[in-house]
Structure 1
Amino acid sequence: MGGNHTQTEFILLGITDNPYAQTPLFVLFLLIYIVTLVGNFGITILVRVSPSLHTPMYFFLTHFAFTDICCSTVISPRMLADLLSEDKTISFTGCMMQFLTFVFFAAIECQLLAVMAYDWHVAICHPLLYVTIISSPVCWQLVASSYVFSFLSVIICTWCVFGGSFCGLNRIDHFFCDVVPVLKLVCSDMHSSEMVIFGFITINAVLASVVILLSYISILRTVLRMCSAQSRARAFHTCASHLMAVSMYFGTGFFMYLQPPSSHRSLDKVASIFYAVLIPRLNPFIYSLRNREVKRSLMKCGRRFFSCWQHRRFLSSRT
Structure 2
Amino acid sequence: MKAGNETQISRFLLLGLSEEPELQPFLFGLFLSMYLVTVLGNLLIILVTISDYHLHTPMYFFLSNLSFIDICFVSTTVPKMLVNIQTQSRVITYAGCITQMCFFIFFAGLDIFMLTVMAFDRFVAICHPLHYTVTMNPRLCGLLVLASWIMSALNSSLQSLMVLWLSFCTDLEIPHFFCELNQVVHLACSDTFLNDMGMYLASALLGGGPLSGILYSYSKIVSSIRGISSAQGKYKAFSTCASHLSVVSLFYGTLLGVYFSSAATRNSHSSAAASVMYAVVTPMLNPFIYSLRNKDIKRALVRFLWRKTLKGSIFLQLKKCP
1:54 positional shift: 0.4
- Cα 1:307–1:192 shift into 2, 3 Å: closer
Contact 1:14–1:79 (8 Å) recurs in 2 = yes
Return the match for 2:188 from 169, 186, 196. 186
Distance 2:262 2:16 in 1: 23
- Compute the displacement of 1:165 (Å): 1.2
Which one of the candidate residues 224, 241, 245 is aligned to 1:239?
A: 241
Give the counterpart of 2:276 among 273, 278, 282.
273
Question: Number of paired residues?
Answer: 318
The Cα shift of 1:260 comes to: 7.7
Residues 14-93 of structure 1 correspond to what in structure 2 (within 5 A)?
14-93=16-95
Secondary structure in 2 matching 1:138: helix
Q: Which residue is equivalent to 2:118?
A: 116
Moved more, 192-201 or 107-116: 192-201
Q: Which amino acid aligns with 2:46?
A: T
Task: Identify which of 91, 94, 97 aligns with 1:95.
Answer: 97
Q: Contact 1:11–1:89 at 8 Å: present in 2 too? A: yes
| Counterpart in the other structure of 1:303 | 306
Q: Given the superposition, is the C-alpha separation of residues 315 and 164 from structure 1 closer, same or farther in structure 2, using an over 3 Å criterion?
A: closer
Distance 1:8 1:225, change over 3 A: same
Point out where structure 2 has 5 or more consecutive residues left out of the alignment: none
Identity of aligned residues (%): 37
Which runs of 5 or more residues in structure 1 are unaligned?
none
Q: 2:254 corresponds to which residue?
A: 252
Is this contact kept in 2: 1:168–1:187, CA < 8 A?
no
TM-score normalised by structure 1 residue count: 0.94
Q: Is the 8 A contact 2:62 2:114 kept in 1?
A: yes
Structure 2: how far apart are the matches of 1:311 and 1:295?
24
> Is structure 2 residue 208 aligned with structure 1 residue 206?
yes
Using the size of structure 2 for normalisation, the TM-score is 0.94
Instruction: Note the aligned Cα RMSD (angstroms).
Output: 1.8
Residue from 312, 316, 319 that aligns with 2:315: 312
Q: Give the distance between the partners of 1:78 and 1:315, measured in 2 at CA.
A: 43
- Secondary structure of 1:193 counterpart: helix
SS in 2 for 1:197: helix
Question: Does the 8 Å contact 1:157/1:196 carry over to 2?
Answer: yes
Q: Secondary structure at the match of 2:288?
A: helix
Work out the CA distance in 2 between the residues paired with 1:272 and 1:164. 25
